[in-house]
């Protein structure tokens, strides 16, 4: 399986005008993301790596969690240019 090392961090963007006590990490930690596994199977490991204060919810996603990175390759062209 192909693995991509990328830096990850949580983003609380449900209301951009609210002040919260959830500081974003100073330096995003690296995470290995398997290219051919659905993101839904990998998100709990990334969530625990970040020690994110919020629970994973179904509010809205920037990526389709039921698909793998390789299945979303067309939407992630600039991401793949940065990691290769």
44 falls within a domain:
yes
- CA quadruple 54, 58, 64, 68: dihedral positive or negative? positive
- The predicted-structure confidence for 7-51, as pLDDT tens digits, reads as follows 888 776 666 666 666 565 568 889 999 989 998 899 889 888 887
Which range of residues forms the domain containing residue 41? 29-54
**pLDDT for position 18:** 64
Residue 42 in any domain: the answer is: yes
Rounded Cα–Cα distance for residues 22 and 80 (Å): 29
Q: 15: which 2 tokens? A: 């209301």
How many structural domains does the chain have? 1
Would you say residue 46 lies in a domain? yes
Does 41 reside within a domain? Answer: yes
pLDDT of residue 34: 92
63 pLDDT band, cuts 50/70/90, is confident
pLDDT score recorded for residue 30: 92
Predicted confidence at residue 61, as pLDDT, reads 57
User: Does 33 map to a domain?
Assistant: yes
Q: How high is the pLDDT of residue 44?
A: 87
């Amino acid at each position: 399986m192909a693995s991509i090392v990328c830096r990850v961090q949580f983003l609380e963007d449900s209301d951009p005008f609210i002040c919260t006590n959830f500081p974003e990490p100073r330096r995003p930690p690296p995470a290995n993301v398997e290219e051919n596994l659905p993101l839904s199977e990998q998100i709990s490991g990334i969530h625990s790596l970040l020690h994110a204060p919020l629970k994973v919810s179904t509010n809205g996603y920037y990526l389709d969690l039921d698909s793998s990175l390789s299945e979303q390759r067309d939407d992630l062209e600039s991401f793949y240019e940065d990691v290769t």
